[in-house]
Each structure stands twice: as structure tokens, then as C-alpha cells.
Amino acid sequence: MSDKSKIGDFVFKPRARIIKTIGEELISNDNVAVIELVKNSYDAGSSIVDITFEGVIEEKKEGRKRKKYIDRSNSSIIIYDEGKGMDFSTIESAWMEPATNFKKKGENQNSNRKFTGEKGIGRFASAKLASRLELVTRQENGEEIVVRFNWDDFSDEDNYLENIRVNWEIRQPIEIKKSGTILKLIDLNNDWDEDKIRELRVTLSRLLNPIVPTEDFLISVNIPDDLDNNLDGTIERPETLNKPDYYIRGTITENGQPESLRFYSKIKGSEETLVFTEKDFLLKDPPRTSLAGEFSFEFRIWNRDSENIKKLSEETNSSVKNVRADLDNLAGISIYRDNVRVLPYGNQNNDWARLDIRRVNNPTLRLSNNQIVGYISIGLESNPLLKDQSNREGIVEGQALEDVKELIKLILNEVEQRRYSERPRENERSVSQESLFEKFSLRSLSTLVKDKIPENKQIIEAVEKKDVEIKESVTKIQEVISRYRRLTTLGQLIDAVVHDGGNYLNKIDLQAHLITKALKKPEINKDELSEHVANIQNLRKDFAQLFRRIEPFGGRKRGRPKNIVLEDVIRNQFMLYHIDLERLNISYEISDTKNSITIDEAELGIIFMNLIQNSIYWLENIETERKIMVQIDRPDAKELSVIFSDSGPGIKDGTESTVFEPYFSTKPDGIGLGLSIVGELISEYNGEFMLVNNGLLDGATFKIIFRYRI
């Protein structure tokens, strides 16, 4: 072997099939491929693009129906635009260079439109659609250039890209009168049936923002005569989009704050400006500053019950079926970068912001994905962290995109609260003043029967017997509900148990390790061992105390109320949340008293657990002193009152009458049951639950009154 070393270098030699890989594997389906080619027409400055399907119409049977489709053999799609076209050097240096940076160069920038693509691979979508491509292009006053691609040539796994020859021709203009480009996709790879073309029209209708339509770019789809003529012609937005029940529009600034927000309600028939402070729009879990960058938005919202849809069909002079189809086709929140849509956001059944999950958790308050037609408008320069994935379908997952999702929830939360307040209400009473179960009684009917027909003992006895049966059934139902309340609460406390329990076990392990180490010494120090054993015993007591705090929340059935010290139970609830309280530097103060109360300990715990959780959530939104105060007062032997106050932002104006109602919440992801459960539990003990103005602290202040059972 020679002693001399050898050095050199290599160059990449891409195989020919890399082009097929780009076109076929990075583009997921035919509709996406067409969109990519139409976007190139938009970038070329064209005012219109025509998509023409040519081929033989066949029929096939699917179930009981027969479907018409364009047979892929001997069929073609022709995409024609009236843009600026390309010269020979552009084709040679840009079209023939995969991953070209042509659109990024300053001299090629379009002053009127931002380029929709910059990766230099979108044109290879044609390989997804057809076996062959004939490109015809012409610049104004120039000659016509024809380039012919046979994509099957790129399937040879043994051939290199540099060996593939693509034929071109320069000729006098034949097909293009002034300027533009024609893409002839010949020998299609797949059939096109009416449903697929219909889906393409819907996708194209959202390529440019349908809410704020672009007037200087039209899209037309032309199909053979034998297919559904509703699929032919220029794509226009439906009149339905102009008649929302609500809308909210505005801008989110670079630091994640709302600006110039306008809200419209059809019921009120007016638009109003919404003003927020910084604490109203705070990204949480964990608290953070938005990385998304500035963006504008508009969300249009419909109540999709039968009555409202029928009214909408009358307003738009359309059928109920067509109105529902319009909303189904366009429903969802789309993202537009420099006015062109980023797929797949807003596609049917693409609930990328996870709105339907919120709706499932709280169907009374929350909006579902199919009730909204909306857009978010971002820019290549203004939102640099919202980058496209390589497959042209979606934005790279990361904190910036997560922030967009959270900001959407904050925006919709404002609509949901206002929409909730406008819903019809009949004979409603606050849950805090009446137990839900008080209505399950025949007491009033029994009294009426005794007054009107006192002589009919049989009816009186039947009513009284049925009243007893109802009361027994209600008791069983209350026991079931009580068990579920306990189990739900226990689930919410798991984090605290795991954290504290883990700490105790680690400390016990450490002491056990020290004992093992001490026993290995030549001389055993009994005092040292006794100290370690004492430490383990103390840790065991602390561990047992943790379980005693959560024991009342076990899944046992509702027990007989017992006499307990109110302040001790409240203090135990605060101890269970010591991790969050310490993390957020929240101090708390409880009256230095000892008042006995006869109540189920778990139900009392649930009451204060919900109040503490609410305070922790809202105190995280403020920068000033974070504090909770609990003051207990006992004016007489039959009544005891508790004032629970925090220094948070307080109850939002306009929601004072709704915060106790089931499923209403001002939290973006709130289920809206916390205060409702508190009010219901208190009412079961003949108590009251209310808001108090001018409380102990500047935030929200609640007052609880317990009677008779204390």
C-alpha cells in the first residue's frame, strides 16, 4: 500500500426519478397538483386562468347510482393563463432548474402580487397529473416557445437526470395571441368524475380569499357537455357568505394583542368596536409572548339550526339544501399567505384549530368548525416563523403555529360570550338560588288536591305516594351525581398527588440509602440510624396527610353530612394547590377562626376547589400582587357566611348575570360548569351563592351563605 494519501471530491449525480418523486410523492392528490399550477399563473400576473377538461365521458355504477367521469385514457387538462409568459432564458434557467431561487431574486419580484411559491418545485405537480406535458409560452411581442416533457422518461431508475433530453421549439405565434402560458397535461394518470371536479371547484373557490375576493384574478373551469353543467364556468363566491349571523374582524399585532376589532351581530343589527387590555389576550400554558407575528383576520359565523338556515335561504333566494352546501363547502378557518391560500387549512373536515373538541366539551357555548367561514392573513415577511412544509401542504409545526391556534380561541371566545348572551331565555332562575332537584316534587300538586277535593282520599294517597317515590329517586340520582363529582375532582388532583407523592418517595429512598450506607460501616452508629428512621417516620406522616386530604373525593356514595371545621377543609384545599400557588407567587389568607358546619366534606371541598382553581387561572393574568382572601363570619347560630375574594381582573363587564349558568365560561377553553356546580351544591344545603361588589380585594368576590345545617 502506498504511503501517499489521496484527496479529491465528489459531486451529486441525481437520478432522473427525482423529478417524478417531487411531482408524485410531495403532492398528495390531483386537486393539490392543479392548485400548484394555478398558483404559477397567479404569480405570472395573469388576470384569469382557464382550466379545461377534454376527453371521453364514461359511466360506471356505484351502488344504485351511475356516475359519469372523464376516462383518463386519451384525456387532457389544459391550463391557460394570460400572464407575462416566459422567454427562452427563463425556461432554461428557471423551469429547467429544480429548486430554483428565481422567484426570490429582487429583479423578478412582482410589484403587484407577492409570489405564492419560492421553493421552485410547484411546476413538477404536472407529473402527478399526467404522463406528458406540453408547455407553450409567449411574452408580449415575442415568439412562441414550446417545450415537451415526457414524465415517463424520468421513471428509469438506472438513468441520471443529466441524461434526460427535453425537446423545445421556437416558432411564430400560433396558440397565444398576446402573452401567457398554456400547460397541456396529456394522458392523465387518473379519472376525473363529477364529485372530484366539484371538489376541485370548491378548493379553487378558496384559493384566493372568498371573504375579501381578489377582483384581478378570475378562475374558470370548463368541462365536457355531458357532465353536470353546474360545474362549468367562472368560480364565484355564494351570496350566503354575505349574510352571517355574526362576524368579528381585526388585527393581531406582533406582540399578540388585538387591534381595531369590530364585532357584528345580526340580532342587534349593528357593528361595535371591541376594546381590550393586555390581560384579556394572554397566551397561557405556559404564559408566553406570541411568536406568530402580526396577522389580520375575519371570522363569519352562522347559527346552523333549521329555523335560521330557512331564514337565510329566503334572504338569499336559494334553497335550504344549497345554503347548507355553501356553508359545508366553505366552512373552516383558512390561512392565506400574501393573499393565496395555504393548504390544507380550511379543507372540509380539517379542524386544525381543534374547535370541534371545544364544542364537544361545551356544546351550549362553543362554536364548531362548520359554523365558521374565516381567514387568517399572514405574509412571508411579516410571519417568518410560519414556514411552509416541503410538501406544500401545511405550515411547519412549532410554537408560532400553536400561538395562532390559541389566539383563534381567544378571538372566538369573545364572539361566543356575546352570542350566548343573545340566546332566547324563558323563565330562567339562577342555579345559585334554586336546586335543580326542587322541581322534582309534587308538593304543590298535593296541596292543591287536598284543598280542592279533600274528600277523595284515593287521589290524595296516590299523589302522596308518587311524591315519595320521586323523592327516593331524586336521592339516588343525587348519590350518582355526587360520586361522579368526586371522581371528576379526584382526576383534577392527580397532578398534585403525583408531584407531592413523588417527592415523599424520593426522600424516603434517600433515607433508606443512608441507612444502608451506615450499616456497611465497620462501626454502626445507633444515633445516626435512629435519626434516619425518625426522618422516614415523619415523611410517612406527611405522606399519610396527603392521602387524608384527597380521601373525601373517593368514589364512594354520598354519605350523611358530618360536623367538620370549615377553616380546616378550606386550608386543605389550598394545600393541594401549593405547587401552582408557589409557582405564581400567590399568597392566601384564611380567617383565624374555627367554625363547625354540618356538610359532606367532599362536597365542601369541591366548592372551594372550584373557587381556588378559578382564582389561580385569572391571577396568572396580572402582574401586580396576587392574593386570595377567605373571610368567615357567623352572625348567628343558624347562618354562616364566607367571603372568597381575589386580586385578579374580576368578573368581565356584562357577564355578571351569566357566570353562574351551566356551560357559560369566559375562559377560551372553559367548560363552564365550575361555578354552576358550586351554586348547585350550596343550594342543596339551603344556602346562597352570589357575586359581591366592593369585595375584600379588587378582583372577583363571591359570597356563600350556609343555613340551618351548621
pLDDT digits over 599-641, tens only?
Answer: 877 778 878 888 998 898 888 888 889 999 999 988 777 789 8
What's CA 231's distance to the chain center, in Å?
A: 32
Comparing CA positions, the residue from 646, 623, 640 lying closest to residue 688 is 640
Write down the pLDDT at residue 710: 47
372 located within any domain: yes
222 lies in the same domain as 312: no
Identity of residue 144? E
190 lies in the same domain as 247: no
H-helix or E-strand spanning residue 324? helix 320-330
178 located within any domain: yes
Among 374, 401, 421, identify where a domain stops.
Answer: 421
Distance CA 140, CA 359 (A): 55
State the Cα torsion 230-232-233-238 to the nearest 10°: 30
Pairing of the two strands 340-342 and 596-599? unpaired
List of long-range contacts for 437-440, beta carbons under 8 Å, 24+ apart:
437/474, 437/477, 437/478, 437/684, 440/470, 440/471, 440/473, 440/474
pLDDT digits (tens, 9 = 90+) for 643-686: 999 998 888 877 877 887 777 787 787 777 777 778 877 887 78
Write down the pLDDT at residue 392: 64
Distance CA 145, CA 709 (A): 93
What's CA 235's distance to the chain center, in Å?
A: 29
Q: What does the angle CA 507 – CA 510 – CA 511 come to, to the nearest 5 degrees?
A: 90
Distance CA 481, CA 484 (A): 5
Write down the pLDDT at residue 306: 87
Q: In 245-278, which positions are buried (b, 16+ CB within 10 angstroms) versus exposed (e)?
A: bbbbbbebeeebbbeebebbbbeeeeeeebeeee
Q: Return the higher-pLDDT residue of 710 and 74.
A: 74
176 lies in the same domain as 214: yes
Domain count, the chain: 2
Phi, psi of 297 (to 5 degrees): -155, 160
pLDDT digits (tens, 9 = 90+) for 5-49: 888 888 788 887 877 777 666 777 899 889 889 988 988 889 999
371 lies in the same domain as 286: yes
Is the four-CA dihedral 336, 340, 344, 350 of positive or negative sign? Answer: positive
Among 203, 220, 236, identify where a domain stops.
Answer: 236
Domain that holds residue 389: 240-421
53 lies in the same domain as 72: yes
129 lies in the same domain as 210: yes
The position carrying cell 349571523 is 245
709 located within any domain: no
CATH number of the domain bearing residue 134: 3.30.565.10
312 lies in the same domain as 350: yes
77 located within any domain: yes
Cell of 460: 290524595
279 lies in the same domain as 217: no
248 lies in the same domain as 133: no
Distance CA 152, CA 186 (A): 12
Collapsing DSSP states into helix, strand and coil, what is residue 433? coil
**Mean of pLDDT values over 321-346:** 89
Identity of residue 300? R
406 located within any domain: yes
83 located within any domain: yes
58 lies in the same domain as 153: yes
Distance CA 689, CA 687 (A): 7
Is the pLDDT at 338 greater than 90? The verdict is no
Distance CA 563, CA 362 (A): 36
138 located within any domain: yes
Helix axes 30-43, 194-205, angle to 10 degrees: 40
**Mean of pLDDT values over 258-264:** 92
201 located within any domain: yes
Comparing CA positions, the residue from 526, 637, 624, 546 lying closest to residue 278 is 624
Collapsing DSSP states into helix, strand and coil, what is residue 445? helix
- DSSP state for residue 391 in the 8-state scheme: T
The secondary structure of 356-379 as a DSSP string is HHHHHH-TTTPPPGGGEEEEEEE-
What's CA 452's distance to the chain center, in Å?
A: 59
Among 209, 236, 263, identify where a domain stops.
Answer: 236
CATH number of the domain bearing residue 401: 3.30.230
pLDDT digits (tens, 9 = 90+) for 684-700: 778 888 888 888 888 89
322 lies in the same domain as 217: no
Its pTM stands at 0.67
214 lies in the same domain as 300: no
